Amino acid sequence: MATTAKRPAPNPLRAGLRVGGASVPTVFVIYGASGDLSQRKLLPAIYNLAVRGLLPNRFAVIGYARSDMDNESFREFARAAVEKFSRTPVDDHLWQAFAQLLHYQSGSFDEEGFRVLGDRLEAIDAGHGTGGNRVYYLSTPASFFPVIVQAMGATRLNRPPGVARVVIEKPFGHDLVSARELADVVHRSFRENQIYRIDHYLGKETVQNIFAFRFANAIFEPVWNNTHVDHVQITVGESIGVEHRAAFYEETGVVRDIVQNHLLQVFSLVAMEPPAAFDADPIRDEKAKLLRATKPMTLENAVRGQYGDGYVAGEQAAAYLDEPNVPPDSNTPTYIAARLEIGNWRWAGTPFYIRAGKRLAKRVTEVAVQFKRPPHLPFPVDAVEQLEPNALVLRIQPDEGISLRFGAKSPTPTLALRTVNMDFLYGSAFLAEVPEAYETLILDAVRGDGTLFTRQDSVERSWEIVDPLLEQWRKGAPQVYPAGSWGPDLADELLSRDGRRWRRP
């Protein structure tokens, strides 16, 4: 009796792509693959993309770093990273297939090491059928960015048989001059449309939802202007201190760490004009136009602070000057509050107030759009004394969602108006787990979609906005605020002089 040959188990990672997935064969190269970012974010994100069927059918990952590992030890390293940091648990059957996509090459960031890497990439192309298409991810300290890019150009890794893209983590320079110097180095090896400057804030679902909220709903865009909006507040608050990053933070401070990138990117999405199409260039054109219309930050419209000791969530917190590796005379700001002005027809006269800081009362990132009061209220004064202005709050983290604040009559025999909230919560509305920002951004880099990545003109304009303030802040001392508060008293005065006050998240 003839025996039937046993069929091999199907590869679960070749089950077909879902809508929105990548289809072009690609090798994903991680420089600094043994580092913290690779472990916490990149490898878990790539695994989750594989689980969701969003990676190309022909795909491979090669990690490159100085650490002494081979393929098998790198796969063990990757599994430990995914088990610890992935938002989904590891599936043993899926992992067997996924692990075969992972490769590793040890070497230095120099031409000799990159020539060996080039030979490995050719072998991977032949084994996985990836056609010479490459995405290079620079998961290293910023000081290595020019070194890696120059060595790639010298060894022609920037010119593979297929398409090449390079993903660069922030910071994109330390100021305008260094940002331009970095751009000059990168542009010698890669064209602008090959460069993907990543800001993980733009990968957050709730940040992307600003697009949908503004431009898919006819009821909001007509009132999104200086005729109806009194002012806008953008808050990026952290309850943690500098932790083990004091040396890094001393070089950056709150403006370089948060404002120049994350906060100004969110600001531009909130205030930009509608793009002609939901494509990379039209959207980035409008963001760049908005930033060009934004006036540079000034000393008289900004407040800097540095956290002192206090209590956060009931636990005692040390002052910034008492943190390990912080100089006792440091004037590095850990908090900023500022008034931004936009010189265009839509927003002229409408201030945007921003604040960001460490060791604040809670962790929160939100945009609050406060509307002007009605021109006439036909109610008795005592009926509306507790009525607050209408406000629309876009919560980016945590508790992602949107809240609309408006007035309604209280259920009492007498006429009394009270402020109520209508809430939309992202998780409960869609009954789905929100993907990590790096999943979205890595997938877009593989697909060649630059919509959520920062273009060089926006990078330079962001530095032009903050550089004058940074120069003025070289001298002087920040105001100390207690850990666990919402910042220094001068931040409240910044708004009170305009007859406004900060919203309490």
Signed CA dihedral, 52, 56, 57, 59: sign only: negative
The model's confidence at residue 400, banded by pLDDT at 50, 70 and 90, is confident
Average pLDDT estimate for 67-79: 94
Give the pLDDT of residue 2.
45
Asked which of 143, 169, 195 is the last residue of a domain, the reply is 169
Whether residue 408 is found in the same domain as residue 305: yes
3-state secondary structure of 386: coil
Q: What is the CA radius of gyration of the chain?
A: 25
Whether residue 162 is found in the same domain as residue 233: no
The least confident of 51-55, 175-179, 246-250, 319-323 is 246-250
Whether residue 86 is found in the same domain as residue 161: yes
Average pLDDT estimate for 103-108: 95
192 CB-near residues (< 8 Å, 6+ apart):
455, 456
Residue 43 in any domain: the answer is yes
Residue 254 in any domain: the answer is yes
Return the top range by mean pLDDT from 119-123, 244-248, 394-398, 400-404: 119-123
Q: Which of 401, 418, 400 is nearest to 409 (CA)?
A: 418
What is residue 277's DSSP assignment?
A: S
What are the residue ranges of helices labelled H in 303-455? 426-430, 437-447
Residue 92 in any domain: the answer is yes
Whether residue 110 is found in the same domain as residue 210: no
3-state secondary structure of 401: strand
Residue 127 in any domain: the answer is yes
Whether residue 163 is found in the same domain as residue 221: no
Residue 400 in any domain: the answer is yes
The model's confidence at residue 20, banded by pLDDT at 50, 70 and 90, is low
Is the pLDDT reported for residue 355 higher than 70? yes
Tell me which of 174, 231, 262, 376 is the catalytic residue.
262
- What's the pLDDT tens digit per position in 152-163? 999 999 999 999
What is the pLDDT of the chain when averaged over all its residues? 89
Q: Which of 140, 51, 39 is nearest to 84 (CA)?
A: 39
Is the pLDDT reported for residue 382 higher than 60? no
What CATH number does the domain containing 25 carry? 3.40.50.720
Give the pLDDT of residue 499.
92
- Give the number of C-alpha atoms closer than 13 A to the C-alpha of residue 147, restricted to the C-beta side: 12
Whether residue 252 is found in the same domain as residue 104: no
Q: Dump the DSSP string for 198-238.
A: E-GGGGSHHHHHHHHHHHS-TTTGGG-STTTEEEEEEEEE-
Whether residue 162 is found in the same domain as residue 219: no
Q: How many domains does the chain have?
A: 2
Give the pLDDT of residue 4.
46
Would you give the distance in Å from CA 65 to the centre of its chain? Answer: 25
Residue 367, token pair as written in the block: 């945009």
What CATH number does the domain containing 475 carry? 3.30.360.10
Q: Work out the percent of the chain whose per-residue pLDDT is above 90.
A: 69
The least confident of 73-77, 303-307, 421-425, 456-460 is 421-425
Q: Which of 265, 261, 257, 255 is nearest to 287 (CA)?
A: 265
Active site residue 376: no
Asked which of 169, 193, 215 is the last residue of a domain, the reply is 169
Whether residue 161 is found in the same domain as residue 215: no
Q: Rounded to 5 degrees, what angle do the CA atoms 228, 234, 235 make?
A: 145
Give the pLDDT of residue 399.
79
Whether residue 153 is found in the same domain as residue 225: no
117 CB-near residues (< 8 Å, 6+ apart):
29, 62, 64, 105, 107, 157
The model's confidence at residue 209, banded by pLDDT at 50, 70 and 90, is confident
Give the pLDDT of residue 251.
86
Residue 234 in any domain: the answer is yes
Whether residue 149 is found in the same domain as residue 287: no
Residue 191 in any domain: the answer is no
Interatomic CA distance for residues 29 and 51, integer angstroms: 20
277, exposed or middle or buried, with CB in 10 Å at 0-12, 13-18, 19+?
exposed
Interatomic CA distance for residues 505 and 500, integer angstroms: 16
Whether residue 122 is found in the same domain as residue 242: no
Q: Work out the percent of the chain whose per-residue pLDDT is above 70.
A: 91
Residue 1 in any domain: the answer is no
Asked which of 115, 146, 169 is the last residue of a domain, the reply is 169
Characterize the bridge pairing of strands 391-397 and 352-357: unpaired
478, exposed or middle or buried, with CB in 10 Å at 0-12, 13-18, 19+?
buried
Domain of 374 in residue numbering reads as: 203-434+462-496
Is the pLDDT reported for residue 211 higher than 90? no
Whether residue 69 is found in the same domain as residue 162: yes
